[in-house]
A = this chain, B = another copy of it.
């Protein structure tokens, strides 16, 4: 057994039982973004949270334990993603990467937006010409330390 097998079992059960990530999140009491990432093998859960997930997806006790262990992160099978939904995000970084860098430096100074002390929030904005996806990235600014 390994984390990948647990992830695959969760996905299979989700499809077989028509489970929604939002209702999983509600049960566990965390955001839907964090819970989905944890179920897909990218984040960790506390033991009680893992037990709730286990109940939803019929996991064994041992399988649930894997959900509490820091995983080997990285969900892309290739360096440049081939799936169009994910690729568009890569394209945005490719096109806007230097712009984001310039503006973070102009407003905050030399440093980065943390990807660890970080949260993500995906919402739907309905619109007559077509709904819009809104993805909010929120991370702590970390200045380079001079020493």
Contact = CB atoms under 8 A, between A and B. Distances in A.
A120 interface: yes
Interface residue SS majority, chain A: mixed
Interface residues of A, number: 97
Given A12-B2, A117-B145, A138-B134, A94 B82 contact: yes
A55 interface: no
A113 to B, nearest CB: 4
A114 B131 CA distance: 11
Interface of A: 1-2, 8, 11-12, 15-16, 20-22, 30-34, 36-37, 40, 42-44, 62, 65-66, 69-70, 72-76, 78-120, 122, 124-125, 127, 129-147
